[in-house]
Structure 1
């Protein structure tokens, strides 16, 4: 078989994500879901919310799940529940999406940026420990929480990070916006850390048709507090505010969509892993593949590699061959104007280097083997200039 043409002679266009193919698979069921919601009329807090929360908890092994309005809310609300505020330091990698830093600031805490490991692209535990000591010496902030980010689908090194956090009385909130379906040891993402935030943005491996997210946790008191916070901090009667809260609700329609997508998630994850296996076997030695901590499996929310020379040229040459790519992320957080008042004392060299090197390849469950091989052929050709 010709890798570039496949069995049928001509490959269909390669999409970076493919929500249309997935929608075709589920459309009839989702339309029935819409009809059911129109019939019962509970557009907010309908039965679909509890259904999704129970399904998420069962799927991940978490003790509870709380559906919220976005992935950012899934980060902000646990920080509020933890009682963080002015003078509290929250450690996070600088090589990630800006929502993680925004969440810290929205909770009135202070972000402290940590460098990442050059192989896993995730938070470097050694640099995390160093940042803690830096903050203790400065004495102007209290080390209170850490947000490891599971970048591109690969869980962070939680055994090392949680050991450091426990030794310093620091709470752990996992940012799993890209890693749903990943696992570490015998724990799925959602049950690895005490509290985990995830996103249902449409392009995520488990996404809705709008904004949405969830918090997974192992503490019933935390879950109860989150349910209060998402409804403006009201008590069980929803009349009086018992704490500061926000409108953090996820509507019934989005819960129904995500619940329906969850029924095919394992099948899609299997396919993502098959595509990743093709990429890894073909690209090994051509670029730096993202490494994984021991006993860790990726959820392959994205498939990202590091190209040390002419990344942008490689990307342009792949586009000429009909292969779309993306860059996550072009600028580390400590270099962004909004976060310029939170610089690192000695720089974050790995974050800065990766921002010039990473390139994400098409990754979704509806790529054919022939398309995956064509992506690899295009990548190899693009490297040669």
Structure 2
């Protein structure tokens, strides 16, 4: 809706003529005949034609209330009128094609936990047809003026332009390529006025959760002029620090598992109380044999505060516990000190332990003392 149409729709002098012409057209008269019959002044003919064009297209009505305001009956139809605006209908069709392109391009693939997604532009376009924030919910006589309704239509046109700008920005295939230069991608967001999508864009295209540290960096890029190269440098340094911290943590855990295996290696009995005493004595109280909080029939060993070995293995007997710990100590030697490496070692240790058969206890025979002189006398 250009300035010419806007000026015509807000022309209060032309509206009374447009109302009469619209009435004649509804009764079957041709537009030119109706305008001639109503003696529309030459100075108003262009505006009346523009008004009638909007009326016949179905997205505008000449107000019938007092002082060119919309009546209660018209108030019920205003939302439907806005949904037929040509710029919104065009936007919905374009957005549907854009979302089809996203679907075909595989941009709706499975998301990582916590990863954000970019807006569904077809949904946004459809919502723009009926989301009229300035339109009063309830009708009040004389409140919905001609100028207010035209402003509402201009609002929908502004929303349509914003959505179209976002789709134009994201249309190139390389804007969805996670391996492409982030600098060029962000520059395109900036050029199209789409920097408000920065956080969601990075999360969606890189398929990762944006934590507090990275969110603050991206906000600095958006609002405080932080250079993207500095963002990438700080983020890479933070990732390296986290990797080193995790490796140090899991090295400590691997060391505790190895120490636990050394304590349990060579045990003579799998009795619960005997294992408890051995662990307490050999570890100076650092290791504790416990029942699992997840399954009271399962055994675990607490090697540090809130960290248990065998928590997911469902170890029912001391034999299973000891052999699982020994197998786990062997398996972690083949893994890097990471969480995924630890889980892999646990799976293999559980598989090894399942192949073992607990030895049966031999019946104990009492040891007889050697015969002496008293036995001879008794005999």
- Higher relative CO (Cα under 8 Å, sequence separation at least 6) belongs to 1
Using the size of structure 1 for normalisation, the TM-score is 0.25
Higher helix share: 2
Using the size of structure 2 for normalisation, the TM-score is 0.25
